[in-house]
Structure 1
Amino acid sequence: MDGLVQETLEARRRIKQYVYKTPLMFSDPLSNLTSSCKVFIKLENEQLTGSFKIRGAFNKLMKLSSAGDVIKQKGIITASSGNHGMACVEAGKTLGIPVTVYCQQNVSEHKKNVLLNKGVRVVLHGVDCVEAENEGRASAEKQEVEYVSPYNDIYVIAGQGTIGIEILEDCPEVDCVLVPVGGGGLIGGIARYIKQVRPSVEIIGCQPQNSKVMYESVRAGRVVFEESLDTLSEGTAGGLEDNSITLPICAQYVDDWIMVTEEEIGRAVVYMLQNHQKVVEGAAGTALGAYLKNPGRFKGKRVVLIACGGNLGIQTLKQLVSMYT
């Protein structure tokens, strides 16, 4: 058992009292799209703060707070496209740790306003999330405070990996898991744990065609710096930090990749609303859209789709409903 798997088991024990064990919902409509297929949706959109990010944030901040009171005096700096920042703020509030959040300038207005309404100091920098990450890390070093990466941190990854524990508890015979991918913290944690316990499970990374840096980086065997276009899946958009520890994890433990278009993401979001009365954000639409793109590929399998978050602004939701209904 390697260090990340052990840390994931410890994370489960550490954060259990602070986060929800989210439902693994069976989907009749998705299952009926192909023969002998059973599709389940892991509803992280119903998680505390509306996304899976609370798991990694609590695990990391609890590790920091256990080292002493200095962290509570100095606080932390993090970078986020929204969800990780909200998660760090929630964990920080519970643990008494002040949080400053760096975001890219084109961050979702909805998520930015949620942060501002909580009284958080938000610093806007750059046009890509990796620019905000680099600036946040540099500022933390200058101020001599802890920087908490949204994905490039073993304790953050281990926290997200607790989803893998829950999936195997609730669906031990799972054949395939479809996971939205940005920086790779979510899929890295899930994949490493599940591959340790059930190596036969297929792990599929799902990214928007408009922003597929991890996919291209895995193909190249190094971090690729390519421009990310606008995407509904802002939670997975943008580049990777150089030397990110998630890249080798994804290269080793992710079996396949599916890219989805903006229309496929939008239709998937509307599909969830129409068929399950659930609001999910664009990042969740990558996994749902990847399945809807070719359901026949999953014939005869038990499939889990990760609905990673539900923080979708009302204007965006109204626009998608008008376009795809």
Structure 2
Amino acid sequence: MITLNPISLTSTQKIMITVSDIEVAHTRIKSFIRKTHSEKSILLSQHFGSSVYLKHEQLQKSGSFKLRGALNKILSLDKSIGERGIICASNGNHGLAVALAAKYAHYKATVFLSKTANTFNTHAIQSLGAKIVAVDGNCLAAETTARAFAQKENLSYISPYNDPLVIAGQGTLGIELNQDIKSIDNCFISVGGGGLISGIGLYLKAYNPDINIIACSPKNAPTLHHSLAQGKIIEVAESETLSDATAGNVEHDSITFELCKKIIDDFILVEESEIKAAMRLIAAKKRIIIEGAAAVAVAGLMQQSKNYRDKNNVVILCGRNIVLEKFCQAIQS
């Protein structure tokens, strides 16, 4: 675990998202999303020796938190712009979220993905009415192709995290946590590009500056962790991880980097074996399926539980979109 001291932003690095932006986002999207419940788990509290609250965002309509940010961005577009079409690149949760958000807004969505994307996600995205464009190569190739197409055709490209409106949408989770849980000492959040933790952390710290925002990532995909340690966004060689939703390098100009420097208090890296153990623990204690990215936050608490005993600990279960066979294999290994 690495502890990061909060860094004040300079005048040229002003935070681009405010509490008011998140509250406006909540008003904009609340009739389209599901307010997922926050639950104190008696069994997990006994297991860890602390008060453990689960935020069940895996029950969101698209199967992950991504719907919030996608909706806030898409519903903010001028109608004449949205009607031209929506573009994104994603092999999974972001693509599902954009497809559903575009459906709600009555816009046409095109999702670029790599040919290696699993058929479950591909079919789910298509079932929501989005057009699929399969690209040779990896996710980066799909993103590069999507951006070039959006620019050429003058269409709106929806970033998964590098956009103030997307971050504000993810921050609406913080509003619900503030409403549902009286006192939070620590909040464990899985981190990829940093959009989710930026939005939630900004909102929660505005009301409780003493709260600890704890970022959790796989050791196999530690790009944001290493970048924060280096003080700049760097490219990191990553390897395969069950938490594919948090994998991948961070855009070099991402606004989430400065936000994360300000917001994150601790950073925990977890092994693949710990991710599997976390998936198995939630299945055993709660009888629910979570994806690898959600398990990363649980694994963070598991690994460092002795440091958070007798505290009010919140764990964000950020998604459930995992192929059943992959889930079964993970919890049995």
Question: Smaller-chain TM-score range?
Answer: over 0.9
Alpha carbons of structure 1 residues 241 and 132: separation in structure 2 relative to 1, 3 Å: farther
Instruction: Check whether the contact 1:78–1:85 (CA below 8 A) recurs between aligned residues.
Output: yes
Residue 13 of structure 2 is aligned to residue 13 of structure 1:
no
Q: CA RMSD in A?
A: 1.7
SS in 2 for 1:215: helix
Structure 1 runs of 4+ with >6 Å offset: none
Instruction: Specify the alignment match of 2:246 in structure 1.
Output: 236
Instruction: Check whether the contact 1:160–1:185 (CA below 8 A) recurs between aligned residues.
Output: yes
Instruction: Specify the alignment match of 1:25 in structure 2.
Output: 39
1:37-58 alpha-carbon deviations (Å, 9 max, x no partner): 1000100001111111111111
Instruction: Check whether the contact 2:89–2:111 (CA below 8 A) recurs between aligned residues.
Output: yes
1:148 maps to a residue whose letter is I
Instruction: Specify the alignment match of 1:68 in structure 2.
Output: 79
Distance (whole Å) between structure 2 residues aligned to residue 256 and residue 108 of structure 1 = 33
Instruction: Check whether the contact 1:31–1:38 (CA below 8 A) recurs between aligned residues.
Output: yes
SS in 2 for 1:258: strand
- Which blocks of at least 5 consecutive residues in structure 1 are unaligned? none
Alpha carbons of structure 1 residues 110 and 116: separation in structure 2 relative to 1, 3 Å: same
SS in 2 for 1:265: helix
Instruction: Specify the alignment match of 2:134 in structure 1.
Output: 124
SS in 2 for 1:69: helix
1:205 maps to a residue whose letter is A
Instruction: Specify the alignment match of 1:295 in structure 2.
Output: 305
Instruction: Specify the alignment match of 2:54 in structure 1.
Output: 41
Distance (whole Å) between structure 1 residues aligned to residue 214 and residue 138 of structure 2 = 25
Structure 1 residue 33 displacement after superposition:
2.8
Instruction: Specify the alignment match of 1:313 in structure 2.
Output: 323
Residue number among 186, 199, 218 corresponding to 1:176 in the alignment: 186
Residue number among 49, 56, 60 corresponding to 2:69 in the alignment: 56
Structure 1 residue 112 displacement after superposition:
2.4
Distance (whole Å) between structure 1 residues aligned to residue 227 and residue 114 of structure 2 = 21
| Superposition TM-score, scaled by structure 2 size | 0.91
Instruction: Check whether the contact 1:128–1:239 (CA below 8 A) recurs between aligned residues.
Output: no
Instruction: Specify the alignment match of 2:229 in structure 1.
Output: 219
1:47-98 alpha-carbon deviations (Å, 9 max, x no partner): 111111111111111001xx233421x1111122311111111111111111
Instruction: Check whether the contact 1:49–1:87 (CA below 8 A) recurs between aligned residues.
Output: yes
Distance (whole Å) between structure 2 residues aligned to residue 315 and residue 46 of structure 1 = 20
1:183-212 alpha-carbon deviations (Å, 9 max, x no partner): 111001011111111110000011011101
1:237-281 alpha-carbon deviations (Å, 9 max, x no partner): 111112001111011111110011111111111211111011100
Distance (whole Å) between structure 2 residues aligned to residue 34 and residue 68 of structure 1 = 49
1:68 maps to a residue whose letter is K
Instruction: Specify the alignment match of 1:87 in structure 2.
Output: 97
SS in 2 for 1:163: helix
Alpha carbons of structure 1 residues 44 and 60: separation in structure 2 relative to 1, 3 Å: same
- Which blocks of at least 5 consecutive residues in structure 2 are unaligned? 1-14
* More off after superposition, 135-144 vs 296-305: 135-144
Between the aligned residues of both structures, percent identity stands at 36
Structure 1 residue 223 displacement after superposition:
1.4
Structure 1 residue 105 displacement after superposition:
4.0
Distance (whole Å) between structure 2 residues aligned to residue 252 and residue 54 of structure 1 = 25
Residue number among 254, 275, 287 corresponding to 1:277 in the alignment: 287
2:35 maps to a residue whose letter is K
1:286 maps to a residue whose letter is V
Structure 1 residue 2 displacement after superposition:
6.8
| Superposition TM-score, scaled by structure 1 size | 0.93
